Structure 1
Amino acid sequence: MKVDKIGRLAAGVLAVALVTASCSSERSGTDGVSEGTGSDGGGAAASKAFGTLPSPCGPGDAKGKTDQGITDDAITIGFGDDRGFSAAPGLSKEMGDAVAAMIDWCNQQGGINGRKIKGNQYDAAYMQSAKVMQEACKQDFMLVGQGFAMDEAAEQYRVACKLPTVAGYTVGPNSSMGPMKYEAVPYPVDLMNIGGLRLAEKLFPDFKDKTDILQSTSPAVSTGNNKIASAMKDIGVKRVDCGVRLNDKGESSYMPFAEKIKDCGAKVLWSSDSPDPGQFSLLESIERAGAEPKYVFESTWYSPLVSKWNTSGAGDNLHIGMIFQPLENADKVPAVKQYVDAVNAKKGKIAMLGMQATSSFLLWAQSAQKCGSDLTRQCVINELSKVHEWTGGGLHAPTDPGNNKPASCSLMVKLNKTTFEQVMPKNAGEFECGPEFVVKTDPKTWGAKLNDDRISTKFLTGDVIKPQSS
């Protein structure tokens, strides 16, 4: 929903999923296999393109048992999420739903060069990522579009068995910077997209001198806030300090904090926290106190949970910087509509992280298609390493998967009662971009030791698959 996992989006993915997960989980208690149903796919499945991206799927005569998981007529990939986590049923379910839908979409066109895709769907259930990875190591060609919140616990097994991945998102620092890892929407530890801050500079005249960061007792939120505070300092924001630090487990009353915010004169508030009842109570208390700050919050706030809550309008000043096209732009951005149609055809869950998984599937499929009959892990990695501008057919701003670098673009949406609408740039489907949208982060915040190739050294071995120039 990484938008933006992970690095920052990924850090917020679990938190937002914990509060938005519901009984929508369709998990049967065992992992599944997806081979495509041949169903109509709501019109999206028969398409020869995905948005602006020519379809990488179609008939062909590729043959040969070229690598693990490859036969004359099939390619076996692994994918999945944490939908079976008992504390939050349906956690990141939209990711598995998206990849299952895209497998159908591709197979209905003939697969990859004629080889149909078989998907092993895994449920890491939050605490079982290591077990899932060991299963995938035995049978899958690659992992594609998956999102496991505890991927750091599985990374040593993935690297040891030389299993490449085009992840939907990564969370742990050693996973996000791991060898044989690509993502459609990278969030590396050493670079950060600050598009939300840059757009706030343009939107709000008081941003440079009247902004504060809402602090929290949560270590994860504090880490995110520290990165934002450093970025704000680098771009010349002189923060006011209202002294607001919220208990992550909730407060008996939020009015004292609202009064502090009003008294200190903050005109813009930033939060790295994710939406929950306590956060909603704070915004409602701020409104009752008569303060009227603008809010610039993380992309985890782009959620139906938030829009459904805002019937009173207490969140009407909420602004969110995003690198994904909002779902509200589906009538103007073909790729977004195709994503929605494909997942709806399988009665799956629609959410931003689903678009992220969809983009990673397409990135993998394009690279695999270019390998023809010689479909090996080495060949796919070679092709992935060459991709330096990627939008998933228009789902998101351009990223650089080959170099593990984030987008240098953003757009801003604003909440208006129960509807999100794009406010910058004004034209739906467009982004604002520039090199100033990406900053280097403090190595003290990385959580990983990197080599000269920006690869984590923690689990690195001498025989990992590295890109080879042709």
Structure 2
Amino acid sequence: MKRKNTAKLMAALALSATLVTGCATDRGGDAGVPVAGGSAAGTEAAASSDTKFGTLDSPCGTGDAKGATEQGVTDTEIKIGYGDDRGYAQSPGLNKEMSDAVAAMIDWCNDQGGINGRKIVGTDYDAAMTQANTVMQEACRSEFMLVGHGFAMDQTAEQTRVACNLAAVPGFTVSPEAANGPMSFQGVPFPVDYANGSAWFQMGELRPDLKTEFDLVGSTMPTIITSLTKVRSIAEAAGFKLKDCGVTLNYQGEPSYVPFAEKYKQCGVKGLWTSRSPVPNEFNFFKAIDQAGIDPVILGEATWYGNSAQTFNSGSGVLDNLNAGMTFQMLENADKVPAVKKYLDLVSAEGGKTALLGMQSTSSFLLWATAAKECGSDLTRQCMVDELAKIHDWDGGGLHAATDPGKNIPAKCGLMVELTGDKYTQAFPSVTGEFKCDDAYLVKTDQSTWGTDLGPDRVATKFLGPNVIKPQA
């Protein structure tokens, strides 16, 4: 936040979200600290459930795969890296749910025998927002692949990743180069040239009166600037004619948000889109909006479906007009969606944090494991790229709407959630647990919004070298 995201994110920065089950103590540590598989809690959870993940047959299990086929692969082990930005000082625990999810999935998989009999050994990295390249340099020296991770400043690390041919299945990507990066596949893709525009189309159905009353909240962060350019084109495709109130917020915070709120009031906005994260600075901004006496509909990335927004709003009501577009099932639907229940059970059994981006990392882990199973003893990065490129219909066992990871194409479906007090409910479509799908939701974005150059295979060309791994027929 894919993605991407996936927050595409800073959707991704977002690229994050905690509900239903309670958060437990933090786990992980500094970059490079291994996280062992097979905890007692994980074993107990696996033993008490079958080996399906929702509608997906488990890709994990025993076997006789052999060979030290690639860096990080031996007769008995597969070494993968994962991680988030939980050490970011201005938002402690940022996206921690991603690492918690991958750690739980590693244990679940190892309890079944690993991948074809090879146990998975995970290294949990903390990029702390500004250390993404340092993390990538460390991962390049030891890991077979990166799986289920999400680093908000991934633009600083992408050149390093590509140069060392570190194939990846991220939980989300943010920068254009990473979103369409080579050797990279996401359970929920967030490419620069196509977008899931369901949030804007569905808002247009819910509130057609606001199609000329929305504006975007500007930011000084380069990744958000790129995101907003893309968002503008998607909104226009959905029939919105956006205002241009000229407001740009410093991502690191402002001494006072009152002047910016007054500017929006003078501009007459009745709706605001934010690509920023649900962090304290953003809450202070919306407090100022409320104090200015305006009550706009707030529309944001799926990362606004989360515990931090709930907690802030439970006592203030400032975000009672908050809406977030999603391609994932709500966590509240665990009783209706087996994949959501499985995710919650596995992570909760290990005391982890559960949230939307955790499900996103879970989907990417399952995608990775599905491809790894197919590779058998020939577990190489080339085989993984080949197998991942073949997967064109993926929903993480029912966690989200179907995507096309192999072609890096987002879903054509979505739903809208709204927040009142500390409760989220589905606002659109009317039947809870259902997505609305429409070919129009898949928006081909204008090339001027991409932020990077793509080759004929839709892969970012900026860091390509002669040895990059490409899918083979």
Q: TM-score if structure 1 supplies the norm length?
A: 0.89
Distance 1:450 1:85 in 2: 31
Change (3 A) 1:7 1:226: farther
Contact 2:29/2:124 (<8 A) preserved? no
Q: What's 1:81 paired with?
A: 84
The 5 A counterparts of 1:16-415 are 25-29=26-30, 31-41=32-42, 43-44=45-46, 46-208=49-211, 210-220=212-222, 221-240=224-243, 243=245, 245=247, 247-248=249-250, 249-250=253-254, 252=256, 254=258, 257=261, 261=265, 266-277=269-280, 279-280=282-283, 283=286, 292-311=295-314, 312-415=316-419
**AA in 2 matched with 1:215:** V
- Stretch of structure 1 that moved more, 380-389 or 159-168: 159-168
Aligned residues: 463
Deviation, structure 1 residue 52:
1.0
Distance 1:380 1:34 in 2: 23
Provide the secondary structure at the position in 1 that maps to 2:209: coil
Change (3 A) 1:80 1:276: closer
1:261-312 CA deviation, whole Å, 9 max, x = no partner?
Answer: 4x76644433333334565456556666665543322223212121122234
Distance 1:180 1:412 in 2: 32
**Which 5+ residue runs of structure 2 have no aligned equivalent?**
18-22
Deviation, structure 1 residue 86:
4.0
Deviation, structure 1 residue 358:
0.9
Give % identity: 50
Contact 1:307/1:417 (<8 A) preserved? yes
Change (3 A) 1:23 1:66: closer
**Which 5+ residue runs of structure 1 have no aligned equivalent?**
none
Contact 1:255/1:289 (<8 A) preserved? no
Distance 1:103 1:285 in 2: 43
Q: What's 2:432 paired with?
A: 428
Distance 2:461 2:342 in 1: 39
**AA in 1 matched with 2:187:** A
- Stretch of structure 1 that moved more, 245-254 or 86-95: 245-254
Q: 2:471 aligns with which of 461, 467, 470?
A: 467
Change (3 A) 1:110 1:246: same
Provide the secondary structure at the position in 2 that maps to 1:114: coil
Contact 2:15/2:172 (<8 A) preserved? no
Contact 1:254/1:281 (<8 A) preserved? no
- Stretch of structure 1 that moved more, 210-219 or 407-416: 210-219
**AA in 1 matched with 2:13:** L
Provide the secondary structure at the position in 1 that maps to 2:108: helix
Deviation, structure 1 residue 90:
2.5
Deviation, structure 1 residue 418:
0.9
Change (3 A) 1:89 1:59: same
Q: TM-score if structure 2 supplies the norm length?
A: 0.88
1:158-206 CA deviation, whole Å, 9 max, x = no partner?
Answer: 2222221111122222122221111111111111211101111211131
Deviation, structure 1 residue 253:
6.1
Change (3 A) 1:97 1:235: closer
